[in-house]
Amino acid sequence: MRNPMKRTFNCRCCGHCCLSLIDAYNGCVSDADLQRWRALGREDLKAWVKTLDLGPGNQLHLAWVNPETGEDVERCPWLLERLDRKGFLCAIEEVKPDHCRAYPEHPPHAAATGCSGYQGARR
Ligand code: SF4
Ligand code: SF4
């Protein structure tokens, strides 16, 4: 939801990317994500990932999968609505998956996918 590397970007915390873009909340996480969480002892995050073994050196880490039911989630389990109900927050902002961290990739990507974070940004 926020990428500090993009100086002209200002996340509105609207939650659109987490709520509406399927890759954001229900896709795959990377090997690097899992390694990072392992190093941090974040078993609670790993518990929501289901790894499919597709052959030697070929794994797919599906996220997010409810550890109790084994079902794909319908909404990211880490998305929190702000108390004032004026937006959303990521409960795992500091360690969120790479694909969340990378969104949006650039202004045209934001515009094409409904993110308003570049609108009105100072250059
Ligand atoms: S859609 Fe854009 S502005 Fe809205 S929460 Fe996601 S990154 Fe932030
Ligand atoms: S992990 Fe955080 S940034 Fe990624 S979809 Fe969930 S709430 Fe949004």
pLDDT at 24: 54
The minimum-distance atom of ligand 1 relative to the CA of 88 is: 5
Looking at ligand 2, which residue's alpha carbon is closest to its atom 1? Answer: 96
* Per-residue pLDDT reduced to its tens digit, 63-90: 999 999 999 998 999 999 999 999 999 9
Q: For residue 25, is pLDDT > 60?
A: no
- DSSP for the chain, please give it: ---TT-TT-------HHHHH-HHHHSEEE-HHHHHHHHHHT-HHHHTTEEEEE-STT-EEEEE-B-TTT-PBPSS-TTEEE-TTSS-EEETTGGG--HHHHT-S-SHHHHHHHT--TTTT---
CB of 97 shorter than 6 A to ligand 1: no
Residue 49 Cβ contacting ligand 2 at under 6 Å? no
pLDDT at 21 (0 to 100): 83
